[in-house]
Amino acid sequence: MKEKILIFGPCAVESEQQLAEIVAGKCILPDFFGQIIFRGGVWKPRTSPQTFQGIGDKALPWLKNAGQKMGYPVATEVANTQHIQACVEAGVDYCWIGARTSVNPILVQELADYWQQIPREQLPKGILVKNPMAQDVALWMGAVERLQTLGVPIWAIHRGINHKACWGMAFEFRQKKHDIPMLLDPSHISGDAQMVAQLAQQAMDLDYDGLMIEVHPHPTEALSDAKQQITMNQLQTLLNTLIVRTTNTPNKSMLELREQIDEIDDELWNLLVKRLELSRQIGKIKKENNEPILQVNRLDNIIQQRIEWGKKHQLPSGFVEQMMHLIHEQSVEEQM
């Protein structure tokens, strides 16, 4: 079984006392975790300036010290070059780039350039890149590529957007970048402590390489992300019940089913080709008759009809709508 990565710790370092309580609440970690890292944010990119912004540089030695007591390397979020410098001075082992930074290529490049000019032995042991606050897989991959030249391990963290998982974005990332380990951050994806365990299991079901989970000794009193942090006890329960999956060589019945799927895909694509051919013919008629290509009433009709039909076949409306838009968009392109 491929070993998994676990990153756990508070959203934000709040005090030495808070970290001491986490250290005291020690977890017994299942042996399928090959790598364990203690996290804590010290510069928090909060939406509102009226909220807790993090302790700042002063908290890095506290973080490091807590990690040492548990025997784990530590990680924090960096968003500018002063943060990197402070991490170098405090001996922070891993850094991550948050969702509000990975969205900005100029900033990511600035961080990459800064790391490029510091001595190799002072580089982080690894850099993690959260998905940007925009559903744009190319932007996320671009951020990773800007850092890959550093020669340290680069990992991706799927944290969703505004408490939506946006799974497709992470699947596409993994399909295009096999060599980058992908971790799931169930805390930020859900924004809800009750959902963390279920999402962590889904990550294992989807063969993610690891998890980043926020823990706090008293979640309801947390100064940031209070709703989503779990206690060390809850983390222990989560880890005890987590089931790791392994990919086997497909058996006969799976191979047969996959063969049928491939046949259906062939049929689907043949039908799509036929549909587009009809569209092109309609396009010619529209042109001859001096009619617009996009006819919103017609679009609305076909989508509503399909949604209604889909409901009878237990298909989610969102899925039907997206598929119809995709097919229709291509028809319009052909007609243009």
Which residues are near Mn ion by CB under 5 A? 11, 225
What is the nearest approach in angstroms of ligand PEP to the Cβ of residue 334? 40
Can you tell me the distance from the alpha carbon of 265 to that of 273, in angstroms, rounded to the nearest whole number?
12
Q: Is 132 in the site for ligand PEP (CB under 6 A)?
A: no
What is the nearest approach in angstroms of ligand PEP to the Cβ of residue 130? 4
The stretch near ligand PEP (CB under 6 A) out of 94-102, 196-204, 237-245, 249-257 is 94-102
Between 11 and 242, CB nearer to Mn ion? 11
The stretch near ligand PEP (CB under 6 A) out of 96-104, 116-124, 245-253, 314-322 is 96-104
Q: Is 169 in the site for ligand PEP (CB under 6 A)?
A: no
In angstroms, the Cα distances linking 36 to 39, 63, 74, 186, 213 are 10, 15, 9, 17, 11
**Near ligand PEP by CB under 6 A: residue from 64, 146, 158, 188:** 188
> Among all chains, which residue has been given the structure tokens 């030495």?
16
Q: Do residues 144 and 180 lie in contact, with contact meaning Cβ atoms separated by under 8 Å?
A: yes
Between 69 and 227, CB nearer to Mn ion? 227
Q: Is 64 in the site for ligand PEP (CB under 6 A)?
A: no
**Contact pattern for ligand PEP over residues 65 through 84, marking x by CB under 6 A:** ------------x-------
Closest-by-Cβ residue to ligand PEP is 98
The stretch near ligand PEP (CB under 6 A) out of 92-100, 170-178, 272-280, 324-332 is 92-100
Q: Do residues 80 and 47 lie in contact, with contact meaning Cβ atoms separated by under 8 Å?
A: no
What is the nearest approach in angstroms of ligand PEP to the Cβ of residue 97? 8
What is the nearest approach in angstroms of ligand PEP to the Cβ of residue 12? 7
**Contact pattern for ligand PEP over residues 6 through 45, marking x by CB under 6 A:** -----x-----------------------------x---x
Can you tell me the distance from the alpha carbon of 65 to that of 37, in angstroms, rounded to the nearest whole number?
13
**Near ligand PEP by CB under 6 A: residue from 146, 159, 177, 216:** 159
Q: Is 99 in the site for ligand PEP (CB under 6 A)?
A: yes
Q: Is 103 in the site for ligand PEP (CB under 6 A)?
A: no
Between 101 and 335, CB nearer to ligand PEP? 101
Of ligand PEP, Mn ion, none, which one sits near residue 130, judging by CB under 5 to 8 A according to partner kind? ligand PEP
Of ligand PEP, Mn ion, none, which one sits near residue 98, judging by CB under 5 to 8 A according to partner kind? ligand PEP
Closest CA to 63 of 53, 51, 49, 77: 77
Of ligand PEP, Mn ion, none, which one sits near residue 223, judging by CB under 5 to 8 A according to partner kind? none
Residues near ligand PEP (CB under 6 A): 11, 41, 45, 77, 98-100, 130, 159, 188
